[in-house]
Amino acid sequence: MRSLTLVFLAVVGMAGCGGERDLAMASKGEHAMNDGIQKSDAEWREELTAEEYHVLREKGTERAFTGAYHDEKTPGVYKCAGCGEPLFSSEAKFDSGTGWPSYYQPVSDEAVMTETDTSYGMRRTEVMCRKCGGHLGHVFEDGPKPTGLRYCINSVSLDLAPKGES
């Protein structure tokens, strides 16, 4: 009779542990900071090529005229190489002569975010993908109409999805 009671207590105890574990997991999910992508440095290193990692995560700059898209004219959407978010349309692309793909506007104001960058003794405005925080390039105020802006972006940070393909 005494051993039966012990078995009963043991079963109740196990069920209790299971319930607590579920609660702990549920509250853990609420710590996500925003709806953006949060990945560890190790995860980015694994997913990106060495060049992509250097530009997107270490704010590097590809050498002028060496990127895939500075002279690209195929209609389509340029997506973030880090997370696939649509960032720039070929319709806003223009030939700036700088050796980097240049656009007078992003697909939407929500697609990118900007921050003042004072590195290398210059005062520039850095452009980042809002979704994953990846470094894209810089924006200058010497662009063409209608915005007067020039988004000077690294080809490495972009993946062109030609029109008609997804």
Q: Please report, as ranges, the residues that interact with Zn ion according to CB under 5 A.
A: 80, 82-83, 85, 129, 131-132, 134
Q: Which is nearer to Zn ion, 9 or 68 (CB)?
A: 68
Q: Which is nearer to Zn ion, 113 or 144 (CB)?
A: 113
H or E segment and range at residue 125: strand 124-129
DSSP state of 126: E
Q: Which residue has the tokens 């700088």?
A: 98
H or E segment and range at residue 55: helix 50-58
The active-site residue out of 80, 83, 132, 152 is 152
Residue 81 C-beta: closest distance to Zn ion, Å: 8
Distances in Å between the Cα of 150 and the Cα atoms of 17, 44, 65, 87 are 58, 28, 17, 14
Q: Identify whether 152 is a catalytic site residue.
A: yes
Residue 71 C-beta: closest distance to Zn ion, Å: 24
Residue 148 C-beta: closest distance to Zn ion, Å: 25
Q: Which is nearer to Zn ion, 55 or 129 (CB)?
A: 129
Classify the C-alpha dihedral 26-28-31-32 as positive or negative.
negative
List active site positions. 152
